[in-house]
A and B are shown apart, each in its own frame.
Chain A
Amino acid sequence: MAEQIIKPDVNFINDIIAAGGESVKKCFQCATCSVVCNVTPEDNPFPRKEMINAQWGLKDRLFSNPDVWLCHQCSDCTAYCPRGAKPGEVLNAVRKLSIQHYATPGFLAKAVASPKALIGLLAVPVIIFIIAIMMQGHSFFPEGEIIYAEKFMKVPYIDVIFSAAALFAVFGFIMGISRYWKDLTRDMGVSSNPWQRKVKGPMIAIIFETILEFITHKRFKKCEVTKDRANTHLFVFFGFVGLAITTTWAIAYLYGYEFFGIKAFSVFHFGESPYPLYDPMKILGNVSALLLLAGILQVITNRRKNAEKAGAGSYFDWLFIGIITSIVVTGILSEVLRLVDVRMLAYPTYFIHLVSVFFLFAYAPFSKMAHMVYRTTALVFAKYSGREEKKF
């Protein structure tokens, strides 16, 4: 193995500590963590080596290491660590720093990670939506029957604002992921990292395999200390998938009617927002929302329950959980309040819902939401490079 010149970076160590890895220095490298980890590959297992790299502030080694993302933070390591070094929490902090490192623009990443910037970040969608409401000449508490899309925020406004936010996010992701992929593949074949062997397979097959793994949460289910997490994450995951399908479906209803003149038939209510509760799209949407609610509430209770063993989590984690909770709670409430016709509460709730969704979308590459993309990339890379030879 080639000799490596090590450049310790104390600032990076301090960053890890600030990012929720305050226990990093406690590690004395006994490798209990790597032994108890069910998710790690057998060769060069994590998180033992990540811990010393973190202790020495070896940023480059950590960021270009797919193992950081192969970790699902089961916290088995944290529970069994004899020194309270909480490797799970440390790797979580490293992942957060990794998201920040690759995110573009960088200042937004810093802002998302900082509680002080929360007001400012929230202010952006709040102002945008206030302006949008004013531009449409709408009242903040419109009279009569509650119809959000008619009297509060018309579809074109929604489309423009969220399309812009989504584009911004996609741009951020593309920038981040391309830089990440470059780092991952930088030393391929010549690297001192033994797992970066050049094992090439058809990329599509690898991506497909990775996605299949997601759907079943096979890897996640290997966790022991936080056994329930795989299930709750599955709830949240499928809640999101369901809502994504619902959204696409709604777009189809709307534009199918507007551009292609498709009329409502049977239970499919093209062009008739708000849709009746028996519409399959509505059913899917409501079921998905309940799934997501159930999931996120379990996430919160589990996290609190396991705090002692697995660590309490950082601001970064809780912000993400908070936003999702806010989306699902305000979403469901908006619907319920509309149905029971409590105008004075329905509109502000919907407003908060819009702000929350915007927050999740626009800041996705800078928040924990980005884990979805980085973990996928890392898993793909791991399979691509031969790091992941063992089939799950």
Chain B
Amino acid sequence: MEKKFGVYICKGCGIGEAINVDELKKTTAGGARIAAELIKDHEILCSPAGLELIKNDVNEGTNCVVIGACSPRVKFEEFDFPGTITERVNLREFVAWTMEPNNEDTQSVAEDYMKMGVIKVQKGDLPAPNILENLSNTLMVIGGGITGITAALEAANAGYKVYLVEKEVELGGWSAKLYKETPRVYPYDKLDEPRIFDKIKEVEANENVTIYKSTKVEKTDGQPGLFDVTLNTNGSMQTVKVGAFVMAAGWKPYDASKLVHLGYGNPNVITNVQMEEIAKKGKIVRPSDGKEAKKIAFIQCAGSRDANHLPYCSSFCCSTSLKQAKYVREKNSDAVAMIFYKDIRTPGQTELFYKNMQNDPGVLLTKGDVTAVTDAGNGNLYIEAENTLLGEKIKVEADLVVLATGIVPATRATQEYFDALTEAGKKGDEARKAFLDETPKPDSILNLTYRQGPEIPSLEGAYGFADSNFICFQYETRRTGIYTAGCVKQPMTMADAADDAAGAALKAIQCVEHVAQGMAVHPRAWDTTFPDPLMIKCTSCKRCTEECPFGAIDEDEKGTPFYRINRCRRCGTCMGACPERIVSFKDFSVDIVGSMIKGGLDVPDEGARVIVLACENDAYPALDSAAIKKLKLHPGVRIIPVRCLGSTNLVWVTDALSRGIDGLLLLGCKYGENYQCHFVKGSELANYRFSKLQETLSKLQLEEDRCQLMQVAISEYDQLPKMIDDFMKRIDEVGPNPFKGF
């Protein structure tokens, strides 16, 4: 493409008052070698007249648009010129709002940013999407409970073919085992009939849905749009092709046999699941003698929120016990339900149900820690509790005890197995082998053929739930194209699970649609660029395959890496990892950033000059926030956004330092997989690479303090100016880069 430039500088929002725009136009023309008449300014560039100015040029053939105005994080709809390479230079936030107006330093900052913007476009190219062939847009839903059926119906009603896979003989999951459901509609005072049976009928009648009962996933191969899934139906195998997954494998109740301290083992101590079975048959009778139970004690958090059992809250048990108390009372108005709780947790509108139930004279509630459940003779039981609202220690008699047991995700067993394997591996190969020999391997649900393991990875501290890595993006998992929903993701009520299912179905649809356009999925869902390696230079060092957080790079039989591009989320971690620097995106490459560093900024003889590589997802918005608050940034820094700190290639350090830049500061996310790095652990990887930098620096006879990585959360914008100032202070102490002027 023959590039035809247009450079536009906005004078609005204080830019015109802070810098000399005429001067800036001149220096941009000179520094970036752009014809002066191609550089225009406007009082308010985002106004209709301002946009008209750009559009007229675009219509006349301008295909490279550099806009010096506000942050690219705002006004992206206004400054959208399809078919062009558009680069936004952040003059407003990074210059006008954060620097002293009208001084030499400020003018120089603006000039550098403009030059870098132009260079980026000069070096970059218009993206062309990478669309794979024979893509499938069929979805597979794993799990035929309320979540799975809802997801299948939502997707099917949106016009997509769905394979619904259920390992049991019948659809319905736990919902089908219920006697009644907690109220679903205002005023939340009547128990509802289980809705699952209507849904089962609906899904069975839907022609877009193919149902596989008694079926497990034997193997999942491939990538979004091109998954090959091997299904095992009672031993007979078949392979189907799907585009994306909703994984709703659900949960199972916590093993009550571990709750001996709460009396489990006594026939009249039952779980909430058993209670539903009894209620379904009619009167509430106790198992030991079939007598009708009239004094029923419910023990909440039975094995939940308990460090020795499940440390978390299962979210549904409180409303379930209240529901059971309600039908106990409805079946027999003489019956009493006594509920011992740690805290009543009735999420959302269920609170109204709780309030209604509280008003029932026969529903007695107290906070308290149940310390013992003992035999009181006659099949009755004594419940002893401490720290109750009724007094320090109390004892009540009941003829039936219901333990409100919690949720264990279907993925927990696999997670525990692999956690234990990792632990064993730390002790050496022999321990690892012994573990593998001795421990039966639990059934996995997806059986992915990914190098990172067969299942959706659980977060550290997520107790085996297939939770997302992204607090802001709940449906995401670290396996592109596979979206979890329902209780396999986190404990939730049926109403929440149904909502969750609809969301996950939409995400799966978005995935197949994006893949069909060669577009990335979350979090760069607009992005049609992709990593395009110059394979001829590949040394098969496998750093990229090791470091890719999404398993998008595999190796062929010869050990040469290849991309399964639909798994890729375009973070550029491979680009940062590659020692041969062969990985490039059309608008982001080692060369582009290197050229910006080398050609884009003036390095003065006096005064420190520092480059800040800022993560686009957290650090950059934090810098914008600092600007919105009109906090002052040091005029010696030049900020360059990167897709993820994981994309930082070490050659940039060499580029910068050899150019005479005094220091390099990396601003990235907090470490640890629980911190919500958009790409799992980019900044950690960058830090790891930085630790290897010492060698390079000493080779150049430079102080390692010149390069630092700082962790910053998006909310810590107020600390950013100081962090940068401290770094600048350190650079002043270290002294000017000896390469200055070479």
Using a CB–CB cutoff of 8 Å, the interface residues on chain A facing chain B are 1-8, 10, 13-14, 17, 25-26, 28-29, 49, 52-53, 55-58, 192
Query: What are the 5 closest A-B residue pairs judged by CB atoms, nearest first?
Result: A13-B361, A3-B393, A1-B392, A25-B359, A52-B389
Task: State whether A58 and B361 are in contact (beta carbons under 8 Å apart), knowing that A8-B338, A52-B366 are contacts in the complex.
Answer: no
- Contacting B365 at CB < 8 Å: which of A14, A17, A55? A55
A to B CB contacts below 8 Å, 14 in the list = A1-B391, A1-B393, A3-B395, A4-B394, A5-B395, A5-B396, A7-B397, A13-B362, A25-B360, A29-B367, A52-B366, A53-B390, A56-B364, A56-B366
* Chain B CB within 10 Å, residue with most, of A29, A49, A52: A52
Expressed in whole angstroms, the Cα–Cα distance for A8 and B367 within the complex equals 16
Distance A8 CA – B365 CA, assembled complex (angstroms) = 11
Q: A57 — which chain B residues lie within 8 A by C-beta?
A: 361, 364
Known contacts A29-B367, A29-B389, A56-B364; is-contact A3 B358 (Cβ 8 Å) = no
Q: Is the CB of B390 within 8 A of A58?
A: yes
Nearest CB of A to B51, in Å: 54
Q: Tell me the complex Cα distance, A28–B384, Å.
A: 21
**Which of B336, B338, B358, B391 contacts A26, CB < 8 Å?**
B358
Q: Does B355 contact A (CB under 8 A)?
A: yes
With a 10 A CB-CB cut-off, give which of B355, B361, B396 has the most chain A CB atoms. B361
For B242-274 the 0/1 string (1 means CB < 8 A from A) is 000000000000000000000000000000000
Contact with A along B343-358 (1 / 0, CB 8 A): 0100000000001001
Q: Is the CB of B336 within 8 A of A192?
A: no
Q: Is the CB of B395 within 8 A of A25?
A: no
Contact call B394/A8, Cβ cutoff below 8 A: no
A53 contacts which chain B residues (CB < 8 A)? 390
Contact present for B361 and A5 (CB under 8 Å): no
Kindly list chain B residues whose C-beta atoms are within 8 Å of the C-beta of A10.
334, 336, 361-362
**CB neighbours of A25 from chain B (8 A):** 358-361, 363
Distance of A1 Cα from B363 Cα, bound (Å): 26
Shortest C-beta distance, A30 to chain B (Å), equals: 11
- Given that A8-B338, A29-B367 are known contacts, is A56 also in contact with B390, CB under 8 Å in the complex? yes
A17 to B392, CA, bound (A): 27
**Chain B residue nearest in CB terms to A52:** B389
A6 to B390, CA, bound (A): 9
Contact A26 B394 (CB under 8 A): no
CB-defined contacts of B362 to chain A, threshold 8 Å: 10, 13
Chain B positions within 8 Å of A7 at CB level: 396-397
User: Interface centre among A17, A25, A52, by most B CB within 10 Å?
Assistant: A25
Which residues in A have their C-beta under 8 angstroms from that of B365? Answer: 55
For B382-425 the 0/1 string (1 means CB < 8 A from A) is: 00100001111111110000000000000000000000000000
Q: Are B361 and A3 in contact (CB under 8 A)?
A: no
Distance A5 CA – B362 CA, assembled complex (angstroms) = 18
Q: How far is the CA of A4 from the CA of B396 in the complex (A)?
A: 8
How far is it, in angstroms, between the C-alpha of A132 and the C-alpha of B511 when the chains are bound?
98
Question: Which one, A5, A8, A192, contacts B364 given CB within 8 A?
Answer: A8
Alpha-carbon gap, A14 to B358, bound state (A): 14
**Residues of chain A with a CB closer than 8 A to B397's CB:** 5, 7
Q: How far, in whole Å, are A1 and B389 apart by their CA atoms in the complex?
A: 14
Docked pose: A98 CA to B366 CA in angstroms: 24
Could you tell me the distance in whole angstroms from the C-beta of A300 to the nearest C-beta in chain B? 30
Within 8 A of A (CB), among B366-380: 366-367
Closest Cβ–Cβ distance, residue A173 to chain B (whole Å): 32
> Does B384 contact A14, Cβ atoms closer than 8 Å?
no
Known contacts A52-B389, A53-B390, A56-B390; A4 and B395 CB within 8 A of each other: yes
B58 vs chain A, min Cβ distance (A): 61
What residues of A have a CB within 8 angstroms of the CB of B361 in the complex?
A: 10, 13-14, 17, 25, 57
Question: B390 touching A26 by the CB < 8 A rule?
Answer: no
Q: Which residues of A contact B367 (CB under 8 A)?
A: 29
Other A-B contacts than A49-B389, A49-B390, 16 sampled, CB-CB below 8 A, are: A4-B394, A4-B395, A7-B396, A8-B336, A8-B364, A10-B362, A13-B361, A25-B359, A25-B360, A26-B358, A29-B367, A52-B390, A56-B366, A56-B390, A57-B361, A58-B390
Q: Is the beta-carbon distance between A4 and B391 smaller than 8 angstroms?
A: yes
Residues of B near A58 (CB, < 8 A) are 390
Name the residue of chain A whose CB is nearest to the CB of B376.
A5
Closest to A5 in B: B395
- Whether B390 and A3, one on each chain, are in contact in the complex, defined by CB atoms closer than 8 angstroms, is no
Q: From B367, which residue of chain A is reached at the shortest CB distance?
A: A29
- What is the distance, in angstroms, from A21's C-beta to the closest C-beta of chain B? 11
Give A29 to B392 CA distance when docked, in angstroms.
Answer: 15
Residue pair A26, B359 in contact (C-beta under 8 Å)? yes
Closest Cβ neighbor of B396 among chain A residues: A6
Within the assembled complex, what's the spacing in Å between the Cα atoms of A286 and B468? 83
Smallest CB–CB gap between B392 and chain A, Å?
Answer: 5
Complex Cα distance A14/B360, Å? 10
Tell me the bound Cα distance from A52 to B364 in angstroms: 9
In this complex, what residue of A is CB-closest to B360? A25
**Complex alpha-carbon distance, A49 and B391, angstroms:** 9
- Give A48's nearest chain B residue, CB to CB: B389
Residues in A neighbouring B338, C-beta threshold 8 A? 8
Q: Given the complex, which residues of B lie within 8 Å of A8, measured CB to CB?
A: 336, 338, 364, 396
User: In the complex, A28 Cα to B395 Cα: how many Å?
Assistant: 21
| Bound: A192/B363 CA distance, A | 25
Closest-by-CB residue of B relative to A2 is B393
Q: Which of A13, A14, A29, A192 sits near B391, CB closer than 8 Å?
A: A192
A28, B351: Cα distance in complex, Å: 12
Closest residue of chain B to A17 (Cβ to Cβ) is B361
Task: Report the bound CA distance from A62 to B393 in whole Å.
Answer: 18
Residues of B within 8 Å of A26, CB to CB, are 355, 358-359
* Neighbouring A residues of B393 by C-beta, 8 Å: 1-4
For the complex, give the distance between the alpha carbons of A17 and B361 in Å: 9
What's the nearest-Cβ distance from chain A to residue B596, in Å?
A: 59
Question: Chain A residue with minimal CB distance to B344?
Answer: A28
- Residue of chain A at shortest CB distance from B382: A5
